[in-house]
Structure 1
Amino acid sequence: MSTIPIIFNESLPSYTAVGGSVRGASTGVSAILLNRGGRYPRRTLFKELEKSGFDYIISLEGPHDRYDLEELSGRFPFVRFILLKDQVSPGEQINLAVSELNSPLFFVLWNDLRILHGGDAAKISEWLRFSREELRKAPSGTRASGGTIRRLCTVPVMQNSGMETLPTIITPAFFRSTVKPLHFPPHGEAQPSLYPFDGVGLYDRDRFIKLGGFDSSINSTYYQLLDFGFRAHLWGEEIRSTQLIRLSYDGEAEAEDTTTDSNYRRFYLKNLAPVFHRDSAHIPISLFPAYFLKTGGEIGAAWGEFNRNRLWVRANRYRFRRDARILTSLWEHPGGMDDPGYFPPEDESFPGRIEFPGNSSGAGFSRGTPHSPGVPKP
């Protein structure tokens, strides 16, 4: 049984690093390039990223031979190729790439994405250089400019190959007593989003590391992103959109695999089960009987999983700023996520009333309709 990481990159996958000895620019922004497979014009892609002015590019390579790496590393000395020995999740790949970087900001991309607008790294650094506190003190002209708040992650507008804007803004909502993510297309600047769709976005490196990065004990890409997003918002971080950067897929965006399994149970216990009270969070031990009855299986294994997550929440209890009930109510409150002082009325039935439906699977995403399953039976 895998343990839940307490600190960032508690365990790293096996890999070899090649190249990346020369800084390409001094903008404070580097790029992390995830490879989805297929034959893409790598030289053209690296040239485009070179023109954008990124300090370094980390290219994640799967566990297979790359016979052109020597040539590419010579032609593009600012690209560091990470050769993975085994197949690992995108979240683990991002964690690994971040450990190889020193840039204050990093931009996560896939090799089937193209930057249509706003990909200049110097401008990106300028947009994101202010913290919320610095903006309050800044001149009114600076304060009015969009996208200048330093936050954990800023997500761009994303389109498919037909130039249709994708519904990449995700919000949490209650649906039949279960928290569900809903997808909507972006319609303004600095809209809050539950998580960065496909992992794509501009991240603040220090905030990312303090948050713990992506949970390597979750194997599902979908639940890894969902866990990252919920944890970020529960711990007081911000994930917001920008209209200043626009990307396009070469084809269609990959469908999200929302199949319920043990990954969802771990996500549920870490994010939906904790209750926030006064200045900390905890998982009530009284929740275990309902958890066991709904998930089934052997009681010892169920208790082991429940207790491991309960201990993880206890170790991080003072990092919580709200629980899932408060988060969802805050999102639905008229003041939205811009009213962090709002607390909904006490509701002791939460989280015990969250349902544990049977196994299900989903693909793609919907516009304004429930998208993810609840806690599953095995």
Structure 2
Amino acid sequence: MLNNYRIYRRKQEIGSRITRLHNTEQLAVGLLDSGTPEQLTEALDWYVLSMNYSLHVVTQEGRFDIPHMQERYKDVTFLVFTTHTFTGEKINAVANECRTNLFLIVRSDTLLVTFDGQQLFSAMAESDHPSAICATLANAYREIVPCCRIPRLVDRNLDPDADFPRLEANESLPTLYPVMCLALYDRALFQRLRGFDENIHSEYWQALDFGIRCHLLGYTVEISNSLLLQFPDRESVIEDRSEAQGFERCYTKALSVQQVNGKNIARKYKGYTDNEVYQTEVKKRMLWLQKLDFHQLCERWPKENA
């Protein structure tokens, strides 16, 4: 048992294991079990057949017969959580276990319509590459949905704007965070940024916190049509933005550092605040590492996307 999940590793031959000890694989796919068991097996069949990359399924205990699935999918690693878990913790587990340079997060209730590996790998090989390339999302009617996010503060509330990603072929644009955490991530950078905050009990607030943290620490997050996922059974693709346990952690990290004359100053945000996070995260880490504050992020955001 590691953390609160069990690992059922893929059945590799000894020679294959030894080879992989000396060669870091480029990409792992993390498949989140987010739909029905039938959708998971359909997705697994497709990924095993169509993508020759390390495959990790993230699921919950009791969903299906693990030994049977291991026998059916010998080259798949299963990460099985023992309790209900939020998306960020699942993705942190993939990052911990995959041992690859990059990892792609997808869901079993989505279809991977476009994965331009050459374009995506090239973009992530640049010296100033983004921390994550987010997926463009489409609904059941193959319509692109507003999945580009723009930083915005409304009446002291974090309220990112949503827009359609106006993208030409092989183009990317800045976005605030990966919607539903669906993206291609740089594993080393993801872990340097300490991944998703597991003390936030909401997929939306976890994703928002991660994205804002990336930007404030001087990294970027982009959205690209080289990576396109479709929700074949959903007419609308929306996030649950309701307040959840730990959401104050996001506010505290996002808004408690202000830059004045090029110098970072810690000031408690006059709104939602987590005092422990303010002391341990803001004053001891964010204060010294931030490159800009949230207000500057909003001001400097490309106007054509704002």
Give 1:262 shift.
4.7
Aligned letter for 1:160?
A: N
1:14 aligns with 2:10: no
Q: Distance in 1 between matches of 2:55 and 2:118?
A: 15
User: Which consecutive residues of structure 1, in runs of 5 or more, have no partner in the other structure?
Assistant: 1-11, 133-149, 296-301, 337-367, 369-378
- Quote the residue 2:98 is aligned against: 101
- Quote the residue 1:85 is aligned against: 82
Of residues 268, 275, 296, the one that matches 1:326 is 296
Give 1:284 shift.
1.8
Give 1:277 shift.
4.2
More strand by share: 2
Of residues 310, 317, 329, the one that matches 2:279 is 310
Q: Distance in 1 between matches of 2:63 and 2:109?
A: 20
- Quote the residue 1:5 is aligned against: none
Structure 1 pair 261–88 and aligned structure 2 pair: CA distance change class (3 A): closer
- Quote the residue 1:238 is aligned against: 220
- Quote the residue 2:209 is aligned against: 227
Aligned letter for 2:255?
A: L
Aligned letter for 1:100?
A: E
Q: Deviations over 1:140-175 (max 9, x none)?
A: xxxxxxxxxx32100122111111101100001243
- Quote the residue 1:299 is aligned against: none
Structure 1 pair 198–155 and aligned structure 2 pair: CA distance change class (3 A): same
Q: Distance in 1 between matches of 2:292 and 2:73?
A: 45
Q: Report if the CA contact (8 A) 1:169-1:194 is conserved.
A: yes
Q: Report if the CA contact (8 A) 2:215-2:297 is conserved.
A: yes
Give 1:118 shift.
2.4
Q: Distance in 2 between matches of 1:72 and 1:307?
A: 43
Larger radius of gyration: 1
Q: Relative to structure 2, which stretch is displaced further, 234-243 or 173-182?
A: 173-182
Q: Report if the CA contact (8 A) 2:60-2:81 is conserved.
A: yes
Q: Report if the CA contact (8 A) 1:156-1:247 is conserved.
A: yes
Q: Report if the CA contact (8 A) 1:29-1:55 is conserved.
A: yes
Aligned letter for 1:76?
A: Y
Structure 1 pair 173–329 and aligned structure 2 pair: CA distance change class (3 A): same
Q: Distance in 2 between matches of 1:225 and 1:240?
A: 14
1:190 aligns with 2:172: yes
Determine helix, strand or coil for the equivalent of 1:227.
helix
Q: Report if the CA contact (8 A) 2:158-2:251 is conserved.
A: no
Determine helix, strand or coil for the equivalent of 1:167.
coil
Structure 1 pair 262–16 and aligned structure 2 pair: CA distance change class (3 A): closer
Q: Distance in 1 between matches of 2:11 and 2:118?
A: 21
- Quote the residue 1:30 is aligned against: 28
Of residues 224, 227, 240, the one that matches 1:257 is 240
Determine helix, strand or coil for the equivalent of 1:47.
helix
RMSD of aligned residue pairs (Cα, Å): 2.7
Of residues 144, 156, 167, the one that matches 1:165 is 144
Aligned letter for 2:181?
A: G
Give 1:216 shift.
0.6
Q: Distance in 1 between matches of 2:36 and 2:150?
A: 32
Q: Distance in 2 between matches of 1:174 and 1:332?
A: 16
Q: Return the TM-score normalized by structure 2.
A: 0.85
Give 1:108 shift.
0.3
Q: Deviations over 1:276-319 (max 9, x none)?
A: 3466644325x5xx44xxx6xxxxxx8xx325423311221222
1:118 aligns with 2:108: no
Aligned letter for 1:310?
A: Q
In the TM superposition, what are the counterparts of 1:203-218 in structure 2 within 5 Å? 203-218=185-200
- Quote the residue 2:54 is aligned against: 56
Determine helix, strand or coil for the equivalent of 2:35.
coil
Give 1:122 shift.
6.2
- Quote the residue 2:134 is aligned against: 155
Q: Deviations over 1:77-111 (max 9, x none)?
A: 22111111111110001001110011101000010
Aligned letter for 1:168?
A: C
Q: Report if the CA contact (8 A) 1:31-1:54 is conserved.
A: no
Q: Distance in 1 between matches of 2:301 and 2:282?
A: 23
- Quote the residue 1:128 is aligned against: 124
Count of residue pairs the alignment pairs up: 292
1:72 aligns with 2:69: yes
Q: Deviations over 1:231-263 (max 9, x none)?
A: 111111111111222221121155322222553
What is the percent sequence identity of the aligned residues?
21
Of residues 269, 277, 283, the one that matches 2:252 is 269
Structure 1 pair 258–115 and aligned structure 2 pair: CA distance change class (3 A): same
